[in-house]
Amino acid sequence: MGSATRRSVAATRLAETVTLNRPNAPRRRHATFAAAGALSGRATVAPWHRLRLDPDFVEERDLHDRGYRLIAGVDEVGRGCLAGPVVVGAVILPRGWKPEGLRDSKMLKPEDRERLADEIVGTALSWALAAVEPAVIDRINILQATLLAVGLATARLPVRPDALLLDGTLHLTNVTVHQRVVIDGDRLCVSIAAASIIAKVFRDRLMVELDGQFPGYDLASNKGYAAPEHRAGLRALGTAPVHRLSFASCADVEQTTLWEAVGPGLREEGGEPDDPDALEVLDAIGVGGAPPADE
């Protein structure tokens, strides 16, 4: 048995002994953070995440030492959602610049993300966004759609990068620019975290707008993830044009003509929908119908 294994066993036995000697000691709760994609609405911060909450410049410095000067961080948001586009952000930051409070976008309060996004956009040497809509996702699958968004975002950068730092499994083929994939990059790497923040703020704002167009799914709160309220809306209303029909949770839902009635189904003079069944559903969720008496 190696020394590392012996230390691990000893530590485990010590912890068990302390627990046995203190049977009424309260259990230490793991830190959590708000996560719309989790069934409970919150996700647990893993121990190794708590060790590194603040991203640093390790990857950027290494690339600078190798001769690369313009380094773009790239990250996506919305890949696992049932509704809305997948969005990719790309950012080239000034060397050594890091806004105060920068972290993985998923671990920030909305107001902090908004503040940081404004700082990043105002200070970055270059930044760009790209969104690929649900219809394209359904046609080419979510992985290819995400890579398409990565390619579009990096191509739209006004300043051409000579190296890319990409989060997780993102990697482009048939491109000449140097690429480095960083697992958990949005937590570890400043440039990737910055890209994550501007992408998430853009997508969150878009989902709030879509909630106004397609009410009943609580998109403004769950941002298109499979939250209980979203699933309940799917069961009650069927899918809307913003849903990804190739995803199992949407493919298993009966497709309706409800949202066709909201758009082309309404007559130009603002009359009632052509489909009487659609009218009942519209009234139930507060869309259409007669205006308030004081208007």
Beta bridge partners of 71: 163
Q: Which has the minimum average pLDDT: 157-161, 184-188, 206-210?
A: 184-188
Report how far apart, in Å, the C-alpha atoms of 212 and of each of 36, 83, 115, 149, 205 are. Answer: 19, 14, 24, 25, 11
Whether residue 138 lies inside any domain: the answer is: yes
Percentage of the chain modeled with pLDDT above 70: 68
In tens, the pLDDT along 100-124 reads: 999 888 888 999 999 999 999 999 9
Whether residue 2 lies inside any domain: the answer is: no
What's the token pair of residue 240? 């809307």
Whether residue 251 lies inside any domain: the answer is: yes
Question: Do residues 200 and 273 share a domain?
Answer: no
What 3-state class would DSSP assign to 32? strand
Segment holding 23, helix H or strand E: none
The whole-angstrom separation of Cα 85 and Cα 70 is 28
Asked if pLDDT for residue 39 goes beyond 90, the answer is no
Percentage of the chain modeled with pLDDT above 90: 56
pTM for this one?
Answer: 0.71
Domain termination residue (choose one: 172, 190, 209): 209
Q: How far is CA 265 from the centre of its chain?
A: 33
- Residue with the bigger pLDDT between 184 and 223: it is 223
Whether residue 12 lies inside any domain: the answer is: no
The whole-angstrom separation of Cα 54 and Cα 292 is 51
Asked if pLDDT for residue 291 goes beyond 80, the answer is no
Which residue, 122, 102, 171, is CA-closest to 143?
171
The whole-angstrom separation of Cα 154 and Cα 133 is 18
Whether residue 17 lies inside any domain: the answer is: no
Number of H helices, E strands in the chain: 13, 7
The whole-angstrom separation of Cα 197 and Cα 186 is 9
Whether residue 135 lies inside any domain: the answer is: yes
Report how far apart, in Å, the C-alpha atoms of 264 and of each of 213, 239, 243, 252, 285 are. Answer: 14, 17, 18, 25, 19
Whether residue 44 lies inside any domain: the answer is: no
Domain termination residue (choose one: 174, 209, 244): 209
In tens, the pLDDT along 121-152 reads: 999 999 999 999 999 999 999 999 999 999 99
Question: Do residues 170 and 260 share a domain?
Answer: no
Question: Do residues 129 and 247 share a domain?
Answer: no
Segment holding 167, helix H or strand E: strand 163-167
Q: How many domains are contained in the chain?
A: 2
- Residue with the bigger pLDDT between 11 and 55: it is 55
- Top mean-pLDDT range of 14-28, 228-242, 250-264: 228-242
Whether residue 37 lies inside any domain: the answer is: no
The whole-angstrom separation of Cα 131 and Cα 88 is 6
Asked if pLDDT for residue 256 goes beyond 50, the answer is yes
Question: Do residues 222 and 138 share a domain?
Answer: no
Question: Do residues 184 and 231 share a domain?
Answer: no
Domain termination residue (choose one: 170, 189, 209): 209
Q: Determine the structural domain holding residue 109 and report its residue range.
A: 53-209
Question: Do residues 78 and 204 share a domain?
Answer: yes
CA angle 42, 45, 46 (to 5 degrees): 135
Asked if pLDDT for residue 157 goes beyond 90, the answer is yes
The whole-angstrom separation of Cα 243 and Cα 183 is 28
Question: Do residues 237 and 97 share a domain?
Answer: no
Segment holding 193, helix H or strand E: helix 190-213
Contact 273, 260 (CB under 8 A): no
What 3-state class would DSSP assign to 225? coil
Question: Do residues 153 and 254 share a domain?
Answer: no
Question: Do residues 158 and 271 share a domain?
Answer: no
Biggest CA–CA distance in the chain, Å, is 82
User: Could you please report the per-residue DSSP string of 79-93?
Assistant: TT-SBS-EEEEEEEP
Q: What residue has token string 């190798």?
A: 66
CATH number, residue 197 = 3.30.420.10
Which residue, 222, 220, 224, 221, is CA-closest to 240?
224
